[in-house]
Each structure stands twice: as C-alpha cells, then as structure tokens.
Amino acid sequence: MSACARLLGLLLLLSLSACEPAAPLKVFDQQLYIWQRQWQPAHAEALAQSRAQFSSLRVLALQAQPQEGWTRARIDPAMLKADGRPVIAVVRLDGQLAQLDGDTIGKHIQQMLTDWQAAGITVTGLELDHDCATARLPAYAELLTTLRQALPAQLKLSITALPAWLASPQLEKLLANVDSSVLQVHAVSNPGHGLFNPQAAEQWARAYAKRSPKPFYLALPAYGVALLDRPSGAPLIESEAPLNSRAPRRELQAEPQQVAELIHTLQQAPPEQLAGLIWFRLPLAGDRRAWPLRTLLAVASAQPLRADLQLQIAQSGALSELSLHNNGNLSADLPEQIEVTAEHCDSADAVGGYRLQRSHNGLIWQRQTPGQLAAGQQLALGWARCAKINQGALSANL
C-alpha cells in the first residue's frame, strides 16, 4: 500500500471515529440526608424544593453518645408523611461508644420504628451510621447479624462505611450482613488536610467497588465547617452550632466545582455496584455552613456553576439604599471596591463590612474584611442621600 493510500485510510478512520456518538453518562439515583435534630417550619419549603431532584430521604432518627446516652431527633411526622418520598431512618452510633450492646440497641431501634409507624410514617430502610475503628469491625459484624435477625425481613438494612476499612480483611464479612452500604468520602482524615479531596474520593470509590458484593452509595458533602485550634490535641470542629471559644477559626468547605467534577468522572466510568449518591445534607434557610439549596440543586443536576453579583439601588426621593445580590448558583467573594457615580450627596453611610469613601464623581464602598455572598443571598451595603445617583454608572471588581 502506498503512503498516499495509507494516509487516506487513516483520515477515513479518524472521520468515522469523530462521527461516533459519545457514550451516554451514567445517571445516578440521588438521595438526601436530613440531619437536623430539631425540625423547623423551614423544613416544609426545603422539602418541597428538593422533591424533584432527590428520590429518597435518609432522616436522622436516633443517636447514642457516650455522655448523653440515647436521644431522639424531633422530627415533624406530618411533614415527613406529606412529603411522600421513601424514608430511611438513620441511627447514629458514636464511634467512641465503649461497647455495642446489641440488645439495648435493638430495643431502642424497635421502639423508634414502632413510634414512627404509629405516626403514619412508612420506613423502607434502616441505616446505621457508626464510625467504627477498623480493629472493632468483627464486633460490629456481630451486631449487624443480631439486628438483621430481629428486624422485619422487608426492612432494608444499610450502614455507612469508612475508607479506612479498605485495609481490613473483615470488610466482606461485614458487608454480607447488609443490603447496601454508604461510603463516606468527606471528613474522613485529618481535618487540616481539608474536608474533601476529589482524587482521593474517586480512588476510594473504585477500590471499594472491588470489595463490595452489594450495591453501595457515595455520601457527598454539601457543607463546610470551622476548625478551632487548641494548644494541645486535635482541633475542635464547629458546624452549625457555635462553640463557646475565642480561638481563631479556619473555615473549610467542600467546593461545589470539585464535587461536580467527581460526579462527572464517575458518570463517565462508573464503578461496579455504585448505585447512587447521597448528599449531606438538606440545607435550611439561614444555615451558616451548608451550601444553599440553589447550589446543591445545581451541582446535583449538572448545571453550569457561576456567581452573578449585581448591585441594586432602591431610590425613594433623594434617599437611595444600596445592596449587593448574588443571582447565580455559586458563592462569590465580596468585591473589594464598589464605585457609584453621584452628584450633590449630603450624607451617606456604609454597612455590611464596607467603609464609605468619597471620590471626585461619587461614592466608593471599600471592603474592610474578606467575605463571601452565598448563592441567592443579598447584602445591604448602606445608603446615600444625593441629588442624583446614576444606577448605570457603577464600577465593582466583581
């Protein structure tokens, strides 16, 4: 074959390859954790807005802790029943419990299930959330065997799993006792190393898929925390509830772009047995460190992520009130400076972490401390009393 013929053949092969459609992306089932210990009226709106995207709800129901003992989450049964989605009750067993008493645990779970059923809630599954030390996995497996025998046969049993368990030869025996498992890929290592690492998460998911004989899910983060350093010992972790400490806080957050990239990678080449994704956690209006629901929905539905900061000026006569709005689905850093052209300003003031300066042609809002504006949120900037203020002539390094 001549060189010309070989070249034509190669070009034809390339053109045919270019015409082949790309392999379709895997569509994962997506579920949602509800982790608030006290339900609020705001749950109703959050549930309604999340219903189309998330198929099932995994609801914190019961906790056992070394000091506090057993506590129930104060759910709203009517609200949960009205939502209509399948409900998996989650029982949190603290990793620091001295022992796992199967009889006591079973009694508390049975009573919770009975009470929920009496309230009209149909529970389709039970999940145990226990950060078990790897060395104690045999005892955990025994507990699961005991529970499986005591629970109704139709009730699906699942557990959360840690990447550290991949080093244990006991993993297969543990997973044989459950119908499915949830691999946690966030907040599983030294907090100083970050809350979420997409490369590590993918490696863990693929390694876990090779060990799991049953379907499994990935628990993905949609939140942030603060670390409070201590003179000795591991740093304290602050979530929604503020800690009574003056120690400096280091904010950590799972970045939406990184989580979205992990999902896309897994959709292109899904690990065997990976059944879906479970998001931690449902955000309510006013949550300080959870992603806004707008951001969570955007990542879960693979929408383009972007911030959209807009300055709004509401005028009433000579008085103008200024505010900054994020109309996008991604948090944005607050601009260092916002300039507004204005004439004959008698008085003005700034709030929201900004300081007011005057310029030759108007007013300047200068940021004093760094900060972010979450998706869908707004920030009051201050007010100005001017003869004329031009809404179209503003400059902000957004």
DSSP notation for 303-358 = PPP---EEEEEEEETTEEEEEEEE-SSS-EEPPSEEEEEEEEEEEEEE-TTEEEEE
CATH number 1.10.3720.10 given to 29-300: no
pLDDT, residue 49, reads 97
pLDDT digits (tens, 9 = 90+) for 283-340: 998 888 899 999 999 999 999 999 999 999 999 999 999 999 999 999 999 999 999 9
Q: How far is CA 79 from the centre of its chain?
A: 22
pLDDT, residue 192, reads 65
Contact call for residues 224 and 251 (beta carbons, < 8 A): yes
The residue extents of the domains of the chain are 29-300, 309-396
What CA–CA distances, in Å, run from 256 to 24, 90, 248, 296, 311? Answer: 23, 25, 25, 8, 24
Nearest in space to 35 (alpha carbons), one of 127, 103, 166, 105: 127
> Residue 64 pairs with which residues in a beta bridge?
70, 93
pLDDT, residue 14, reads 52
b/e for 9-39, b at 16 or more Cβ within 10 A?
A: eeeeeeeeeeeeeeeeeeebebbbbbbbeeb
> Residue 223 pairs with which residues in a beta bridge?
290
The reported pTM is 0.89
pLDDT digits (tens, 9 = 90+) for 136-179: 999 999 999 999 999 999 999 999 999 999 999 999 999 999 99
User: What topology is assigned to 309-396 in CATH?
Assistant: Immunoglobulin-like (2.60.40)
Helical H segments across 122-255, by residue range: 137-150, 171-175, 198-211
pLDDT, residue 4, reads 54
Residue numbers in the chain where pLDDT is lower than 50: 7
